[in-house]
Amino acid sequence: MLPSFDNYPVCTIPISPGDRFLLCTDGVTEPQNAGGEAFGDRMLEEVLRGNQSCLPSHLSDKLLSEIRHWSSMSQQDDITLIVIDAI
């Protein structure tokens, strides 16, 4: 990386078997419904909590389905997500 980027905070997070991580772009939380309300962190958390026992591929499919159902307009941004289960 460039020297000007060395001021980002660094931390260590312990990872245990059974932990799940979701890496995603802002295209997951920004789609809006007909009322102009963004899918947002609240809906993202709701979908994640309601599907904790799903396989990563099923969780990805469920989340994408919920975003499509929520959104009243055509996709405006990329939607990228990665679900990682620690074993």
Residue 29: count of CB within 10 angstroms of its CB: 17
Say if residues 80 and 27 touch (Cβ distance below 8 Å).
yes
Main-chain dihedrals φ then ψ at residue 38, nearest 5 degrees? -70, 150
Distance of CA 81 to the CA centre of its chain: 6
At residue 77, does pLDDT exceed 90? no
**Terminal CA-CA length for the chain:** 30
pLDDT of res. 2: 61
pLDDT digit string, tens, across residues 5-56: 677 788 899 999 999 999 999 999 999 999 999 999 999 999 999 999 999 9
- Would the pTM count as exceeding 0.95? no
**Domain limits of the chain?**
27-87
Over residues 61-81, the mean pLDDT reads 89
pLDDT of res. 65: 95
pLDDT of res. 84: 96
